[in-house]
Structure 1
Amino acid sequence: MGFGSYDETEQDNQEYDTDFEDDDGVSAEENAHDGDVEFEFTASNDELLDRLEDIKENT
């Protein structure tokens, strides 16, 4: 059988490993973190809007 050819017998000869162990993979809760995030903005709204306008002009 050449590269790219399709052989229907290959369809019947496939074996699948569906025996999954409970220890496989990563638990989503394993790395869960509880906490707070706080941001402190030092610029005023006007300064931020001016900066946004500068960015828009340069793109």
Structure 2
Amino acid sequence: MGFGSYDESEQQHQQRDDEDVDAVTVHENDHDGELTFESELSTAELVSQLGSMKDDEE
């Protein structure tokens, strides 16, 4: 057998013990609330800051 080859017989009839696997629950920490924040900056100032941040990334 060459490099990277495998015995296909080893790939058949594999048993898995799924009972011991801890599954991830993606909706465990869903949040249906509301997010608010206060800022003394105007919308135009915030947009300007965002533009500056995007320019810094480039």
TM-score scaled by length of structure 2: 0.44
TM-score scaled by length of structure 1: 0.43
Larger radius of gyration: 1
